[in-house]
């Protein structure tokens, strides 16, 4: 059997810490909602200042303290995992360990402090060098990830690490990646999940997109007007069934699937096709019949388009069987972004374990255009399996199948991965890019620089292999400092004009996932898509993850894209850190990976190792390692 067994859990949400963070409710009770007016967001000028904050005093590892709430949330969840593993698996630190953690905004709170400080320094305010360095270290997307791992003594280079900056599907994708690592035998133990903290930056973005509610979320109901933000963190420790060593199994991850809409950067495919494809892939991976799934943990943002789309996806997945109960957990704890997938999966697991069909929060008549099976009060009901659905900016979709008992899932076998083509660029000419892509020049001009650079690199790749060779592929993007300069431009307008005056078109580009989504739309890349950024060598990380997807059959072809804007905020940040002397430049590189050896330029090992503290950064790191693979392949062929 090849399920991934959850043997330890760490969680925090507005409901509490530990099991209370994901409590699925009690029989006969309505859903408990902890959303409230948020005074911090109100003072920041938000017109719809509702959120669900985690408890103020978090239990943290002894001797630790964190300035960034995101780091504290992740450290709280990780501390619970460490404590549990220390008790049940004392030698776990000596095992082959993988850590896959997802986020939407990561170190955004630290980044906004960095942006404000840069503005103050530009006005002539003084700051000590050590103060600048401390602010710079906390301004990256991966800063909370680094801090939490360091606090748990898990910063060893021998630990396999991936930090998925994949918006609202991040932790679902992270758990799926963990399942694949175990499938391939690359790890003995995986810690996977996600985190995010409420921030004024993100709250402003969702409000200007008109995605937030003026009252309380009402998923799948007539008159629903959006979601409220939440915050939290959730992690699970995963092992293969034969390696539980007698530990009790909380739930099993029996299937994973991922896809891309390739329709719009923020709005979902209204047919539900993309999400349905991800769900169908997860169900097929599990080997279960749809009729055995009695619960769907829905993405359920309570926005008009998402819920209608999701209801269509659910109807398509279960068209020939009784409709499963749908649980919209975001309406209780807020949209926890990078933590949403894992916290909602844990709530579904709690329901499976206790035999409870959970109640759905929200009032009003069910929308006929978003018809799903909701319960006003929780019911006792035997449940064997659940389907978790997630969607995200960039059109990314992900799904998991969770089971109470062993699924009997057939193990996946790894296959070789080959490099078929690569292309690199250093600048963008809009006239040329419009001609290559067929996208109007004025639309290209409205894209942020990072997206234009990434699209230009993929356009060059398409010129090498032909556009038709890319259609249907997946895409994994990697960065050194992701969207740092785009984020500074957005935040400067927010601080100067207030939340209500920010152009809503600016916010989507602040997601590191945006560049993958824009390229997916133009080239119809409908396989898995997301971005990664565990450190400054994100290009190497993207190559490893892209190779994993091909090796384990989640995609036959994957575009790996590494892209860096290298603007003033990024360069200033690097100048304040130990990376100041490492090669860094504006540009992008795209490579095409596939499962066929025909016309291959190199063989790619998913177990890529690199030194995150040395060598070139971002796309330059990808260029260096691809050149190394190609050189070794040519030497082997000549030999």
Q: Which residues are catalytic?
A: 168, 299, 335
The distance of Cα 622 from the centroid of its chain, to the nearest Å, equals 21
**Side-chain half-sphere exposure of 578, counting CA atoms within 13 A:** 6
Say what angle helices 69-88 and 143-151 make with each other, to 10 degrees.
40
Query: Cα dihedral angle (37, 40, 46, 47), rounded to 10 degrees?
Result: 30
Tokens of 165: 């900056």
Cβ contact 402:324 at 8 Å: no
**Side-chain half-sphere exposure of 619, counting CA atoms within 13 A:** 26
Distance CA 458, CA 556 (A): 17
- According to the 3-state scheme, what is the secondary structure of 98-146? EEEEEECCCCHHHHHHHHHHHHHHHCCCCCCHHHHHHHHHCCCCCHHHH
- What are the distances in angstroms from CA 613 to CA 458, 538, 540, 618? 28, 12, 13, 12
529 forms beta bridges with: 475
- Residue 612: strand, helix, or coil: coil
- What are the distances in angstroms from CA 463 to CA 188, 460, 521? 41, 5, 17
The distance of Cα 633 from the centroid of its chain, to the nearest Å, equals 33
Tokens of 451: 């997206």
Instruction: State the burial class of residue 381 (Cβ atoms within 10 Å of its Cβ: 0-12, 13-18, 19+).
Output: middle
Cβ contact 267:240 at 8 Å: no
Q: What residues have CB less than 8 Å from 96, skipping those under 6 apart?
A: 160, 186, 187, 188, 189
Q: What DSSP string runs through 169-233?
A: GHHHHHHHHHHHHHHHTS-SEEEEEEEE---HHHHHHHHHTT-B-SS---TTBTT---B-EE-EE
- Residue 16: strand, helix, or coil: strand
Cβ contact 613:578 at 8 Å: yes
- According to the 3-state scheme, what is the secondary structure of 321-369? CCCCEEECCHHHHCECHHHHHHHHHHHHHHHHHHCEECCCCCCCCECHH
- According to the 3-state scheme, what is the secondary structure of 271-330? CCHHHHHHHHHHHHHHCCCHHHEEEEECCCCCCHHHHHHHHHHHHHHCCCCCCCEEECCH
530 forms beta bridges with: 476
Tokens of 312: 């269509």
Distance CA 346, CA 388 (A): 10
- ∠ CA 257-258-262 to the nearest 5 degrees? 150
Distance CA 486, CA 553 (A): 34
């Amino acid at each position: 059997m090849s399920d991934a067994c959850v043997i330890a859990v760490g969680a925090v949400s507005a409901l509490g810490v530990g099991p209370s963070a994901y409590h699925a409710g009690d029989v006969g009770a309505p859903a408990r909602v902890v959303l409230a007016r948020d005074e911090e967001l109100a003072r920041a000028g938000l017109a719809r200042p509702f959120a669900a904050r985690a408890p103020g005093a978090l239990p943290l590892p002894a001797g630790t303290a964190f300035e960034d709430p995101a780091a504290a949330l992740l450290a709280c969840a990780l501390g619970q995992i460490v404590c549990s593993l220390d008790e049940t698996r004392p030698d776990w630190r000596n095992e082959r360990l993988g850590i896959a953690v997802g986020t939407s905004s990561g170190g955004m709170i630290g980044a906004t402090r960095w942006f404000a400080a840069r503005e103050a320094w530009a006005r002539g305010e003084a700051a000590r060098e050590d103060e600048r360095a401390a602010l710079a270290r906390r301004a990256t997307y991966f800063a909370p990830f680094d801090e939490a791992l360091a606090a748990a003594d898990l910063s060893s280079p021998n630990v396999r690490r991936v930090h998925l900056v994949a918006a609202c599907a991040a932790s679902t994708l992270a758990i799926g990646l963990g399942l694949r690592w175990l499938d391939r035998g690359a790890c003995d133990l995986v810690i996977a999940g996600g985190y995010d903290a409420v921030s004024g930056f993100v709250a402003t973005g969702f409000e200007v997109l008109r995605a937030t509610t003026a009252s309380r979320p009402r998923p799948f109901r007539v008159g629903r007007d959006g979601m409220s933000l939440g915050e939290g963190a959730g992690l699970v420790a995963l092992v293969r069934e034969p390696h539980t060593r007698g530990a009790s199994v909380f739930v099993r991850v029996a299937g994973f699937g991922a896809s891309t809409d390739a329709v719009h950067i923020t709005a979902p495919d209204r047919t539900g096709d993309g999400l349905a494809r991800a769900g169908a892939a997860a169900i097929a991976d599990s080997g279960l019949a749809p009729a055995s799934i009695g619960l769907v943990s829905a993405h359920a943002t309570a926005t008009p388009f998402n819920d209608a789309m999701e209801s269509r996806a659910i109807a398509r997945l279960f068209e020939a069987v009784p409709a499963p109960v749908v649980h919209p957990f975001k309406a209780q704890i807020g949209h926890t972004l990078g933590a949403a997938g894992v916290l909602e999966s844990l709530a579904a697991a709690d329901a499976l374990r206790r035999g409870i069909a959970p109640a759905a929060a929200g009032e009003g008549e069910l929308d006929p255009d978003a018809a799903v099976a909701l319960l006003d009060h929780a019911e006792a009901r035997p449940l064997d399996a659940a389907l978790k659905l997630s969607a995200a900016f960039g059109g990314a979709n992900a799904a998991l199948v969770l089971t109470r008992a062993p699924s009997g899932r057939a193990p996946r076998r790894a296959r070789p991965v080959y490099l078929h083509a690569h292309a690199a660029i250093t600048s963008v000419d809009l006239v040329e890019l419009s001609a290559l892509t067929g996208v109007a020049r004025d639309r290209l001009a409205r894209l942020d620089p990072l997206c234009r650079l990434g699209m230009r690199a993929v356009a060059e790749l398409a010129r090498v292999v032909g556009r038709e060779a890319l259609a249907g592929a997946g895409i994994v993007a990697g960065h050194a400092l992701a969207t740092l300069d785009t984020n500074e431009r957005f935040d400067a307008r927010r601080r100067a004009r207030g939340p209500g005056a920010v152009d809503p078109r600016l916010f989507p580009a602040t997601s590191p996932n945006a560049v993958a989504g824009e390229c997916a739309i133009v080239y119809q890349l409908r396989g898995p898509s997301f971005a990664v950024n565990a450190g400054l060598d994100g290009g190497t990380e993207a190559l490893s993850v892209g190779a994993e997807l091909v090796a384990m059959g989640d995609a036959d072809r994957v575009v790996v894209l590494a892209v860096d804007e290298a603007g003033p905020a990024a360069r200033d940040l690097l100048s304040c850190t130990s990376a100041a002397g490492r090669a860094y430049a504006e540009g992008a590189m795209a490579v095409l990976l596939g499962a066929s050896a025909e016309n291959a330029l190199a063989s790619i090992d998913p177990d890529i190792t690199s030194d995150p503290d040395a060598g070139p950064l971002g796309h330059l790191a990808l260029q260096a390692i691809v050149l190394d693979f190609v050189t070794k392949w040519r030497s082997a062929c000549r030999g």
